Amino acid sequence: MGRTPAVQLAPGVWRIPTAPADLVNSFAFVDDDGQVTLVDAGVKRAPRRIIAGLEHMGSSPSEVTRIIATHAHSDHIGGLNDIHGRTGARVAVHERDAPYVRAGKGPVLDGVTLLGRLLRHGLASTPTQVDEELTDGQLIDVGGGLRVLHTPGHTPGHVALLHESTGVLITGDSIWNMRRRMTLPMKALCTDVAMTKQSAHVLGEVHYDVAAFTHGPEIRDRAREVVRDFLREKAGEQ
């Protein structure tokens, strides 16, 4: 069986795998008028898979009007400049990560790990214009409302996104579900390791039915309870 170009999570909400085994995902929200909002643009080679996903959904690049980046890491914005060029869509990023997207340089990494000290700024990406700077709690006009949840630590301006009308939560890199095992993101890739762990608890305080991950497949069955159990386990670790 071949790879599915796009997986429907709820009416008008899709996950677009941009790497094998669901290791990296973008997302698409389709409004009633057919306009599409993309979330994340994957690595540099991801745009072709994003376009295939749009076609599978019955959409096209010309219908993409906004691209939201959850944060300024190259596996999420590596393809951003390309997709922006193909669509002409407005680019939205949290205000604290916007300078990194414009500069094409990742945020400074936490020196708590050797790899973090060696990588320093992580991996570079192509500089891309940012048209809209997002803030915590902002409700973006997407399919009934897409709520911005600022969850800093992985990067200063990292966000999760809650689609309130369908109950779909996009965790961003607050939590990974690689190979169907939830973890916090790698310490070496975080700007502030302690803050990453602390801010993830925001995801246990909101209500949703589907937990969708930028790394790994979604959880549909008792999603909020499963995430909250994970967060309680992490809180108990020293």
- The pTM assigned to this predicted structure is 0.96
| CATH numeric code, 7-236 | 3.60.15.10
Here the tokens at position 169 are 């939560």
CA angle 77, 82, 85 (to 5 degrees): 125
Digitized pLDDT (tens) for each residue of the chain, 238 residues in all = 468 999 999 999 999 999 999 999 999 999 999 999 999 999 999 999 999 999 999 999 999 999 999 999 999 999 999 999 999 999 999 999 999 999 999 999 998 888 888 888 777 899 999 999 999 999 999 988 999 999 999 999 999 999 999 999 999 999 999 988 999 999 999 999 999 999 999 999 999 999 999 999 999 999 999 999 999 999 887 5
Q: Write b or e for each residue in 171-208: b if 16 or more Cβ atoms lie within 10 A of its Cβ, otherwise e.
A: bbbbbbbbeeebebbebbbbbbbebbbebbebbeeeeb
